[in-house]
Amino acid sequence: MGSGIDGPTSPFYVRFVDGPYRGAVLRIPGAADGPNKGPAATLSLPIAWGDTADPGRGEACYRREPAPDEELWLYRLELGGDVREDARPHITLPSPACQGGA
């Protein structure tokens, strides 16, 4: 996530206030200084819905609150975002065969 940031980066803690990621706290890189200090203004995160026989996939778009709350940046779903009520986070990890090692 931090590869698109010009200049030095620093990790920031963010919490999701609503939507499928509600309550999750993640550490996300952001600009370490300057007028845009902090994590990205918007984040798009993968979501899924339905069961394993008929799954759906998409994204939940979040917008950052203007200032951190005690060093924790808050994100809310963007207004007008089309996120189903039964949506859940959809984070996948590579299979062990892809991770290398023995």
pLDDT in tens, 28-50: 999 988 888 899 999 999 999 98
CB within 8 Å of 15: residues ≥ 6 apart = 23, 24, 25, 72, 73, 74, 75
What is the predicted pLDDT for the residue at 6? 63
Specify the pTM.
Answer: 0.79
Residue 56 has pLDDT above 50, yes or no: yes
What is the tens place of the pLDDT at every residue in 63-85?
999 888 888 999 999 987 788 88
Task: Identify how many contiguous H helices and E strands the chain contains and give both numbers.
Answer: 1, 6
The DSSP H or E segment spanning 9 is strand 9-16
